Amino acid sequence: MEAKLKVAIVVGSGTDTELSERAAKILEELGISYEIKVLSAHRQPSELEAYIKTCQAEVFIAIAGLAAHLPGFIASRTLKPVIGVPRSVKLGGLDSLLSIVQMPRGIPVATVGIDNAENAAWLAARILALKDEQVSAKLVEKSTSYK
């Protein structure tokens, strides 16, 4: 039996895959199932919307640069937690950061530091640990903040 998908990592373009792999590495270390999808909010809005509606993941990680609409697009179409990772493409990533954190009321996106995909994975794990004892135990085992 295949493990239930826990985290969907969505990137807007192939240039974002290096960051997605950094998040994936943390999830693998914690034994959390995930998938990586390349879907643009600007170039593939219909495909992205269809994916969001059918995705069984419990948490989304969305990595985006420049205008960084991807995390907000996802958050506006699901009640599941969305974690945004701003990418440093121009302006030191501040343009992406501000695009992600300044969502309208009622459409929250948790946001981690610029290019900090690892923290997005750690945050996803903490969210999952609220109702998954195995993830919780792995977090305690791997976390440096509890030792």
Q: What is the CATH number of the domain that holds 122?
A: 3.40.50.1970
Residue 2 maps to a domain: no
Q: Which residues of the chain have pLDDT under 50?
A: 1, 147
Beta strand 82-87 with 59-65 is parallel
* Predicted pLDDT at 145: 62
Residue 74's φ and ψ, nearest 5 degrees, are -65, -50
Global pTM reads 0.94
79: its two tokens: 């009640």
92: its two tokens: 């030191």
> How far from 131 is each of 7, 24, 25, CA to CA, in Å?
14, 21, 22
Query: Number of folded domains in the chain?
Result: 1
d(CA 57, CA 80): 9
23: its two tokens: 């998040």
Closest CA to 71 of 36, 95, 107, 37: 107
* Predicted pLDDT at 143: 75
* Predicted pLDDT at 21: 97
Domain that holds residue 81: 7-141
Residue 57, helix vs strand vs coil: coil
* Predicted pLDDT at 1: 42
